[in-house]
Amino acid sequence: MAHSQGKRRRLVADIVRQGRLQTPPFRLRGGQQLIAALMTASALMLAAPGAALASNGPGKPGTTKAGGSAHKEKAKAKASAGNARATARTGATGRASSVREARESRGARGKKGVAEARTAVAATAATSATAAAAARTTRKPASAGAIQEASNAEARLIAVYELFGRGQTRPALAKARDLVRDYPNFQLAQLVYGDLLAAQVPPSNSLPDTASIAKMRGNPAMAELHEESKRRLQALRERPPANTVPSQFLALSTRSRYAIAVDASRSRLYLFENSDKGLKLTADYYISVGKSGTDKVTEGDARTPLGVYYITSSLDPKSLKDFYGAGALPINYPNPYDVRRGKTGGGIWLHGTPPQQFARAPLASDGCVVMANPDLKQLLRKVQIGATPVVTAHSLQWISQPQAEKEAQSITSAITSWKDARASGNEAQLKKFYLPDFQRISSKKTTEGISVVDDEVKFAQGKRVQFKDMSYLHWRDGDDTMVVTFGEVFEGEKSGRSRRQYWLRQGTEWKLFHEEILG
């Protein structure tokens, strides 16, 4: 027996609230009927489903009667709705207990917003999946590798999109069911699965509720989920070109086994493995940044900083609130270049999500970079304290390895000239490489001004020195800066020390404004 309009609406609401049903009280459909039904089931929340329908080319939606008596049908629907409500209650994001948690949790999607937004992803699932399927056949073959490991939750979600875009609706539904079973707190996956199930509800001949459509179009939670879906699919369609690296990575010592680059405009973190053959993209992950965007300037502005940083520590999750998930990796914001420009604030981490929440909205944190806990756990196994660089950019620019080597030539020349001037003992020549407000920080003391030149000449004492493990990280915004890390061993010595220098280009010359003696 077909559902009445009222029953159908209630059932759809329960389905999308939960995102899954163990025993749907209706017979499943397949093929083009499911695509049409998906649009019909979500019509109350969609503004223009016609484009998606046209691109998928559906047949005429038919009316399918549910098997069994009306009494059994009603009982099953009621039981399923009860289960949906119970799981929705227990799966809601808990309240943050600390001040910082409270601030960030305001950006997290609550259970009410997610429940109301669940039906809206049908538009994303149809239009974006079709676009993703088309992109698969049109994008250039020379591109980076797979998004992540095949078992990754996001890769599995995108597989659902691809299957749906190709009209393979039953496999899409099966994969979505398995995904939400394995990751019940993955809100976007639950939403997609809920809409796939909602599409099985027999369509109604009643006109859409335009008032509800207008209301849902303005719902913030719906907009956040739509943007999350859009950015995840963008990562599939717009892969980095093959054999390229972010323009900041001009050279990286093999002592840094991994490097991280964040593209805020794509909500993406890229992980590179480093070897004597260069950097290789091994994985990339969806991330969230500050609720006010990027380019942090002051404390409390809820922005993610832009620049070149390093991982400074790894915080044990046992010492953290559940809000931060599987752990946290602080970075050295503000770095010396930030301090030079008067930027304030701190406590910028790469961290996870609360247990009840798989991912955050693209713009959700107080400035931290937030990752799903399974993704963060992979990162925690690979980063090196003090040696893993983290580039955070509004939009990454990708260059070839030969181009990176070419752009490193000017700073390489400056470093060589600085080394030669120091070895010669020519203080006047050496002073030309330092800005008047130069600062050096070591474990023993902090030295300011160009009086450091005397220390350098005494330290070198005319000895020949070998530089090794050179790293050049380039940052360009209003100024042109270079973060140079290297080790030095003097002739006749078995060991040396490591330095991290910050250079600023003035005209055609590079000048030192900060240095850290690492050990």
Task: Tell me if residue 368 is catalytic.
Answer: yes
Q: What pLDDT is attached to residue 135?
A: 37
The CATH T-level fold of domain 408-517 is Nuclear Transport Factor 2; Chain: A, (3.10.450)
**Predicted confidence band at 491 (pLDDT cuts at 50, 70, 90)?**
confident
Q: Which residue has the higher pLDDT, 516 or 464?
A: 516
Q: Would the pLDDT of 408 be above 60?
A: yes
Q: Average pLDDT of 112-141?
A: 39
Q: Across the strands, what pairs with 281?
A: 272
Contact assessment for residue 284 and residue 147, using Cβ atoms and an 8 Å cutoff: yes
Tokens for 509, please give them.
Answer: 């010359």
The fraction of the chain above a pLDDT of 70, given in percent, is 66
**Predicted confidence band at 73 (pLDDT cuts at 50, 70, 90)?**
very low
Q: Which residue has the higher pLDDT, 373 or 466?
A: 373
Highest mean pLDDT among 13-27, 50-64, 123-137, 462-476: 462-476
Per-residue pLDDT of 261-277, as tens digits, reads 999 999 999 999 999 99
Q: What pLDDT is attached to residue 509?
A: 95
Give a three-class secondary structure readout of 313-377.
CCECHHHCCHHHCCCEEEECCCCHHHHHCCCCCCCCEEECCCCCCCCCCCEEECCCEEECHHHHH
Q: Would the pLDDT of 410 be above 90?
A: yes
Whole-structure pTM value:
0.76
**Domain extents in the chain:** 5-237, 247-396, 408-517
Highest mean pLDDT among 284-293, 430-439, 446-455: 284-293
Q: 108-114 long-range CB contacts below 8 Å, 24 or more apart? A: 108/354, 108/357, 108/360, 108/361, 108/364, 109/187, 109/221, 109/224, 109/225, 109/357, 109/360, 109/361, 110/221, 112/221, 113/219, 113/220, 113/221, 113/222, 113/224, 114/187, 114/191, 114/221, 114/225
Contact assessment for residue 412 and residue 256, using Cβ atoms and an 8 Å cutoff: no
Contact assessment for residue 284 and residue 268, using Cβ atoms and an 8 Å cutoff: yes
Q: Would the pLDDT of 83 be above 50?
A: no
Q: Would the pLDDT of 470 be above 80?
A: yes
Q: 63-70 long-range CB contacts below 8 Å, 24 or more apart? A: 63/2, 63/202, 63/203, 64/2, 64/26, 64/27, 64/29, 64/202, 65/1, 65/2, 65/27, 65/202, 66/1, 66/2, 66/3, 66/25, 66/26, 66/27, 66/202, 67/26, 67/27, 69/1, 70/1
Q: What pLDDT is attached to residue 100?
A: 44
Q: Which residue has the higher pLDDT, 306 or 17?
A: 306
Number of H helices, E strands in the chain: 19, 18
Task: Tell me if residue 3 is catalytic.
Answer: no
3, 71, 226, 351: the active-site residue: 351
Which residue matches tokens 């490193």? Answer: 408
Q: Which residue has the higher pLDDT, 397 or 236?
A: 397
**Predicted confidence band at 169 (pLDDT cuts at 50, 70, 90)?**
confident
Q: Would the pLDDT of 92 be above 70?
A: no
Q: Would the pLDDT of 181 be above 70?
A: yes
Q: What pLDDT is attached to residue 81?
A: 31
Q: Would the pLDDT of 499 be above 90?
A: yes
Q: Which residue has the higher pLDDT, 494 or 209?
A: 494
Count other Cβ atoms within 10 Å, centred on residue 257: 16
Q: Average pLDDT of 191-205?
A: 73
Average pLDDT over all residues of the chain: 76
pLDDT-wise least confident of 105-109, 243-247, 264-268, 491-495:
105-109
Task: Give domain 247-396's CATH number out of 3.30.70.141, 2.130.10.10, 2.40.440.10, 3.40.50.620.
Answer: 2.40.440.10
Q: Average pLDDT of 67-90?
A: 37
User: What is the DSSP code (8-state) at residue 118?
Assistant: G
3, 71, 226, 368: the active-site residue: 368
Q: Are strands 446-448 and 434-441 parallel, antiparallel or unpaired?
A: antiparallel
Contact assessment for residue 189 and residue 179, using Cβ atoms and an 8 Å cutoff: yes
Residue 208 phi, psi dihedral angles, 5° rounding? -60, 150
